Every structure is written in structure tokens, then in C-alpha cells.
């Protein structure tokens, strides 16, 4: 039995739309304020070295920041192995604060162990 073309489109459309949602949600870089760069220096308290982005928390002098870094593949290609952002490491992150999440930033570059890595 052959399914009519219009019925196929009606069945496929919601699946196609739903598959695009994670991509749209993932690329929300507009929620960071590029006009107000910040520098966060301190010790790494937690480190999640996994996709879609590496995320660390850093205890700075004034507060604890959540720092969003690059995907693991980009980190590794640029020489930022897991050990570079491990718990206990001293790190400097330069980037943009979130307009949505308090005390969260997207890093453009990090320095750890005397090595500076560009994230973007």
C-alpha cells in the first residue's frame, strides 16, 4: 500500500522540526554580553569535560563563576587537555557574561599552567 505524498509530508514535518530544536537551543550565544568583557581568575572547583561544551566552575575573589568553554574536540585540537582545566588548577578566563544566568560566562580564551588557549 502506498502512502499519499501529502500524508507523508504531514508525518515527516513534526519530526524534522523537532530534530532542529537541540541545534537552535545550543547556539544561543546572543545571550552573552559581548560589550562587557570580564576576566575571571581563580581555582577550578568543578570540571565537566564533555560535549556539547566543557563547563567549569571557578572560585574567583568575589564569587564563584560557571565558565562555558569550547567543545571537547576543539579543546583537544588546541592543546587544552582535560588536565588543563582539572579541579584544583589555577585558571584565568576572559570572555562575556551571560545576560540570562547569574555568574555565568562564555570564555573566549583561558590561561592555565602558563598556556593560553583561544576557545573560538
pLDDT (tens digit, 9 = 90+) per residue, 83-103? 999 999 999 999 999 999 999
pLDDT of residue 15: 46
What are the phi and psi torsion angles at 52 (to 5°)?
-80, -20
**Among 70, 91, 88, which residue's Cα sits nearest to residue 79?**
70
**Among 115, 62, 63, 55, which residue's Cα sits nearest to residue 91?**
115
Domains detected in the chain: 30-118 (2.40.50.1010)
CB burial of residue 41 (10 Å; 0-12, 13-18, 19+): middle
Residue 62 pLDDT more than 70? yes
State the pTM of this model. 0.76
C-alpha cell at 88: 584544583
The mean per-residue pLDDT over the stretch 28-55 comes to 94
Half-sphere exposure (Cβ direction) of 48: Cα atoms closer than 13 Å? 10
As a whole-number percent, the residues of the chain with pLDDT over 70 amount to 76
Residue 35 pLDDT more than 60? yes
Amino acid at each position: 500500500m502506498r502512502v499519499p505524498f501529502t500524508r507523508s509530508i504531514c508525518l515527516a514535518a513534526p519530526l524534522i522540526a523537532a530534530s532542529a530544536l537541540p541545534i537552535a537551543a545550543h547556539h544561543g550565544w546572543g545571550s552573552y554580553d559581548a560589550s562587557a568583557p570580564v576576566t575571571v581568575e581563580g581555582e577550578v572547583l568543578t570540571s565537566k569535560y564533555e560535549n556539547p561544551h566543557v563547563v567549569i566552575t571557578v572560585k574567583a575573589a568575589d564569587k564563584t563563576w560557571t565558565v562555558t568553554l569550547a567543545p571537547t574536540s576543539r579543546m583537544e585540537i588546541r592543546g587544552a587537555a582535560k588536565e588543563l582545566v582539572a579541579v584544583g588548577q589555577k585558571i584565568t578566563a576572559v570572555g562575556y557574561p551571560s545576560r540570562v544566568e547569574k555568574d555565568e560566562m562564555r570564555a573566549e580564551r583561558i590561561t592555565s599552567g602558563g598556556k593560553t588557549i583561544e576557545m573560538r
